[in-house]
A and B are shown apart, each in its own frame.
Chain A
Amino acid sequence: MYKRHIEYIKKGMIDMKEKRTIAEKIFDAHRVDMPFPDTHVLKLDAVFCHEITTPIAITDLQKRGMDRVFDASKIKAVIDHVSPAKDSKTAEQGKILREWARRHGIKDFFDIGRNGVCHALFPEKGFVRPGYTVIMGDSHTCTHGAFGAFAAGVGTTDLEVGILKGVCSFRTPKTIKIVLNGKLRPGVYAKDVILFIIKELTVNGATNKIIEFTGPVIDEMSMEARMTLCNMAIEAGGTCGICYPDATTVDYLWEFIKDEFETKEDALKEYSKWISDEGAEYEKVYEYDVSDLEPMVTFGYKPDQVKTVREMEGTKVDQIYIGSCTNGRIEDLRVAAEVLRGKKIHDNVRGIVSPATPAVYSAALKEGIIEIFQDAGFCVTNPTCGACLGMSNGVLAEGEVCASTTNRNFNGRMGKGGMVHLMSPATAAATAIKGSITNSRLFEEGGV
């Protein structure tokens, strides 16, 4: 524990906590300074970078004569937002990142051909471990909390200091705990759960707070599903979504950690220190039974404007987009393909699927999923963030509507004057077939 932390405790300025949340434990293990009682400067285990927010940090460091990196092995970089480059400006952004990575010997740099959407690619490479501190100049960095890490999106200046010094400042962590009981019905997924939670919390409900997801429903979820859940914590204002590490986490990470541990049980034992203590203090605890939850979809320009798919049934769409750091992983593509198998998309819609990483793409090819998408009439693109934020590969025209598996429905997000309805891959695939918002047969036949 950092000495000034003990000083503040002795002076009675902050409490000594015997029972701690996972975030408090991670803060305690990483604190290098506490300039003020509510300001924690943490040592970083990983700094992730992409070509949109990093180049300005790089050029600023150069201008200041401080073009250095704290530890090249802890910096991971990818070109993902616009790939391949669509114009001279995006080519320049890629160039700045590429040359910087070469200059500093950053080995984990993923250029086109090896690149994928950052929050799908980096977990796949085993770069996030339980108990880690991670920052990135990207708000959806909260995704990595799925591994029991503290992972937060930051701006370019925080990123710049992270690159230079390997530290970042945070206020005292406060946590909201969400306990999910019951069992999800067939055709209902992590995306439906998180849309429901955002509706409950509102877009400002978790501001400055960490959202801890726990309960039997989380225990049952794959790492992919947990990532979908944590990915959208920011949509309720959350600093980070976080799940406790368990056997599922160890299985996912095993190929990367097998040299560190003799058995999976050993790994699990070690990682179990990153679980909140019984009796830890929470800002608020919400408990839901999600056994009756139906597929959900957004309707306005805010991610907390959520209805059931049934309520939105029949809403016409022009484009279907399946991909992104929320729902572009292999599990997502499998579900969509199951709905699309042997079917054609409606004449009035166009479909785009962007597998989130090269590994997802390869697996989808091998499993025949790409063929199902193509036979259904989908365009299959390379991995990129592209359309999700209206930068490339599927930008909407004025007045057009998109059924999307992404995370934001803000005005203009996918193109000026466009409307985005957020939903699960199953709902998006069913919507593609019908041409208007509808439930998938996986839900309909699941015994409503």
Chain B
Amino acid sequence: MKTFGGKVLFLDRDDINTDEIIPAKYLTEITKDALKPYLLEDLRLEGFDSKRDIEGKSVIVTRANFGCGSSREHAPWALEVNGINVVIAENFARIFRQNMYNCGMFAIELPKEKIDYLFDTYKDKDTTIEIDVDNDKIIISSEGKCEEIDFTIGEFDKALIKEGGWVGYADKHY
């Protein structure tokens, strides 16, 4: 099975919308790869530079309501082609969350105090997060230390991850 995780990008803001994740003017692209240079181009976040900060990251940790706004699946695709296949947040906009699992990617919700803890403890450190898919654990490593946090996702979300997405699942079942 595919592995999920890697270096973490911290985005310390609520309500990051899909226009910020990938601006509408790039929705004319017909391939996912063409979206790669434009991920988070319009993000309003002090100190963040999309040209500098995305490279080499595989996980995003952010606050509440990530992916709100437009239904564009170009948002998860833009993450995917940049090597990001896990987003951890307090909660997600419904369509974005479904798009992530439909593409076989993780959108993990953690309570606010756990998200606060991740920001307080790891935001300014070189941090790696791996997802233990079978045991529902987030494994965090930073500066030689390692800890685990439990998470829960729906059974349906898990089934989609196992089938590699909704098209495969639906084709098999309906």
Q: Give me the interface of A with B, judged by CB distance under 8 Å.
A: 32-33, 35-36, 38-39, 41, 52-53, 55-56, 59-60, 64, 66, 81-82, 87, 89-90, 92-93, 96, 137-139, 141, 152-158, 160-161, 164-165, 167, 169, 171, 203-204, 207-208, 234, 237, 239, 301-302, 389-391, 408, 410-413, 416
- B4 CB to nearest chain A CB (Å): 18
State which residues 81-98 of B face A: CB under 8 Å. Answer: 91-96, 98
Q: Which of A38, A55, A153, A207 has the most CB of B within 10 A?
A: A207
B30 within 8 A of A: yes
Asked whether, in the complex, the Cβ of A60 is within 8 Å of the Cβ of B167, the reply is yes
State which residues 1-54 of B face A: CB under 8 Å. Answer: 14-15, 17, 19-20, 23-25, 27-30, 42, 44
Chain B interface bracket (under 10, 10 to 19, 20 to 34, 35 or more): 35 or more
Partner of A56 from B17, B30, B166 at Cβ < 8 Å: B30
In the assembled complex, the Cα of A157 lies from the Cα of B165 at a distance in Å of 9
Asked whether, in the complex, the Cβ of A167 is within 8 Å of the Cβ of B174, the reply is yes
Asked whether, in the complex, the Cβ of B70 is within 8 Å of the Cβ of A139, the reply is yes
Asked whether, in the complex, the Cβ of A157 is within 8 Å of the Cβ of B68, the reply is no
Asked whether, in the complex, the Cβ of B170 is within 8 Å of the Cβ of A164, the reply is yes
In the assembled complex, the Cα of A154 lies from the Cα of B72 at a distance in Å of 8
Which residues of the partner chain B approach A171 to less than 8 Å between Cβ atoms?
Answer: 154
Which residues of the partner chain A approach B23 to less than 8 Å between Cβ atoms?
Answer: 390, 412, 416
Name which residue of chain A comes closest to B15, CB basis. Answer: A203
Which residues of the partner chain B approach A167 to less than 8 Å between Cβ atoms?
Answer: 170, 174
In the assembled complex, the Cα of A411 lies from the Cα of B17 at a distance in Å of 9
B103 within 8 A of A: yes
- A89 CB to nearest chain B CB (Å): 4
B65 within 8 A of A: yes
- B158 CB to nearest chain A CB (Å): 9
In the assembled complex, the Cα of A90 lies from the Cα of B30 at a distance in Å of 10
Asked whether, in the complex, the Cβ of B24 is within 8 Å of the Cβ of A204, the reply is no
Asked whether, in the complex, the Cβ of B159 is within 8 Å of the Cβ of A35, the reply is yes
B102 within 8 A of A: yes
Asked whether, in the complex, the Cβ of B174 is within 8 Å of the Cβ of A155, the reply is no
Name which residue of chain B comes closest to A414, CB basis. Answer: B24
Name which residue of chain A comes closest to B165, CB basis. Answer: A157
Asked whether, in the complex, the Cβ of A165 is within 8 Å of the Cβ of B170, the reply is yes
B59 within 8 A of A: no
Partner of A155 from B19, B20, B28, B72 at Cβ < 8 Å: B72
Partner of A411 from B24, B27, B44 at Cβ < 8 Å: B44
A389-B174 contact, Cβ under 8 Å, with A155-B98, A157-B167: no
In the assembled complex, the Cα of A208 lies from the Cα of B109 at a distance in Å of 13
Partner of B93 from A82, A158, A237, A416 at Cβ < 8 Å: A237
CB pairs A–B below 8 angstroms (20 shown): A39-B156, A52-B27, A53-B27, A93-B28, A96-B30, A137-B71, A138-B71, A153-B95, A155-B71, A155-B76, A157-B73, A161-B170, A207-B91, A237-B93, A301-B44, A389-B24, A391-B24, A411-B20, A411-B44, A416-B23
